[in-house]
Amino acid sequence: MPRIAYFGPQGTFTEQAARALADPREHELLPLDTIPAVVAAVRSGEVAAGCVPVENSVEGAVPATMDALALGEPVVAVAEHVLPVHFSVLVRPGTEAAQIQTVASHPHGLAQVRGWLEANLPKATAIAVNSTAGAARAVHAGEYDAAVSAPVAVEHYPLHELATGVADVADAVTRFLLVTRPGALPAPTGADRTSLVAVAVNRTGALSGLLHELALREINLTRLEARPTKDRFGEYRFFLDVEGHLAEQRIADALAALHRRCLEVRFLGSYPRTDGTQTQVAAPTRDEDFAAATDWVAAVRRGERA
Ligand SMILES: O=C(O)C(=O)C[C@]1(C(=O)O)C=C[C@@H](O)C=C1
pLDDT for residue 279: 97
pLDDT at 77 over 90: yes
Q: Is ligand 1 within 6 A of the CB of residue 7? A: yes
pLDDT at 30 over 90: yes
% of the chain surpassing 70 pLDDT: 100
Q: How far apart are the CA of 127 and the centre of ligand 1, in A?
A: 15
pLDDT for residue 129: 98
Q: How far apart are the CA of 83 and the centre of ligand 1, in A?
A: 10
Residues 6+ apart with CB under 8 A from 85: 13, 56, 112, 150, 167, 172, 173, 174
Q: Is ligand 1 within 6 A of the CB of residue 137? A: no
Q: How far apart are the CA of 13 and the centre of ligand 1, in A?
A: 6
Of ligand 1's listed atoms, the one at least distance from the Cα of 176 is: 11
Q: How far apart are the CA of 78 and the centre of ligand 1, in A?
A: 20
The tens digit of pLDDT for each residue in 95-130 reads 999 999 999 999 999 999 999 999 999 999 999 999
Q: How far apart are the CA of 100 and the centre of ligand 1, in A?
A: 23
By alpha-carbon position, which residue is closest to atom 3 of ligand 1? 12
Q: How far apart are the CA of 71 and the centre of ligand 1, in A?
A: 21
The tens digit of pLDDT for each residue in 143-195 reads 999 999 999 999 999 999 999 999 999 999 999 999 999 999 999 999 999 99
Cα 109 to Cα 12, 18, 32, 130, 249: the distances in Å are 11, 18, 18, 11, 40
Q: Is ligand 1 within 6 A of the CB of residue 35? A: no
Sign of CA dihedral 133, 138, 144, 146: positive
The tens digit of pLDDT for each residue in 84-97 reads 999 999 999 999 99
pLDDT for residue 234: 86
Q: Is ligand 1 within 6 A of the CB of residue 31? A: no
Confidence of residue 137 (pLDDT cuts 50, 70, 90): very high
pLDDT at 1 over 90: no
Peptide bond into 9 cis (omega under 30): yes
The ipTM of this complex is 0.95
Residues 6+ apart with CB under 8 A from 45: 181
The tens digit of pLDDT for each residue in 237-282 reads 999 999 999 999 999 999 999 999 999 999 999 999 999 999 999 9
% of the chain surpassing 90 pLDDT: 97
pLDDT for residue 157: 96
Q: Is ligand 1 within 6 A of the CB of residue 9? A: no
Of ligand 1's listed atoms, the one at least distance from the Cα of 172 is: 14
By alpha-carbon position, which residue is closest to atom 13 of ligand 1? 109
What average pLDDT does this structure show over 200-208?
A: 93
Alpha-carbon span 228 to 236, nearest angstrom? 4
Of ligand 1's listed atoms, the one at least distance from the Cα of 135 is: 1
Q: Is ligand 1 within 6 A of the CB of residue 176? A: no
Confidence of residue 221 (pLDDT cuts 50, 70, 90): very high
Please name each of the domains of the chain with its CATH number: 1-85+167-183 (3.40.190.10), 87-165 (3.40.190.10), 184-306 (3.30.70.260)
Residue-averaged pLDDT of the chain: 97
pLDDT for residue 220: 97
Q: Is ligand 1 within 6 A of the CB of residue 12? A: yes
pLDDT for residue 37: 98
Confidence of residue 211 (pLDDT cuts 50, 70, 90): very high
Backbone angles phi, psi at 31, to 5 degrees: -75, 135
pLDDT at 42 over 90: yes
Alpha-carbon span 263 to 266, nearest angstrom? 10
The DSSP code sequence of the chain is --EEEEESSTT-HHHHHHHHHS-TTT-EEEEESSHHHHHHHHHHTSSSEEEEEEEETTTEE-HHHHHHHHSSS--EEEEEEEEE--EEEEE-TT--GGG--EEEE-HHHHHHTHHHHHHH-TTPEEEE-S-HHHHHHHHHTTSSSEEEE-GGGGGTS--EEEEEEE-SSTT-EEEEEEEESS-SPPPP-SSEEEEEEEE--SSTTHHHHHHHHHHHTTPPEEEEEEEE-SSSTT-EEEEEEEES-TTSHHHHHHHHHHHHHSSEEEEEEEEE-TT-PPPP--TTSSHHHHHHHHHHHHHHHTTS--
Of ligand 1's listed atoms, the one at least distance from the Cα of 11 is: 3
pLDDT at 38 over 90: yes
Q: Is ligand 1 within 6 A of the CB of residue 87? A: no
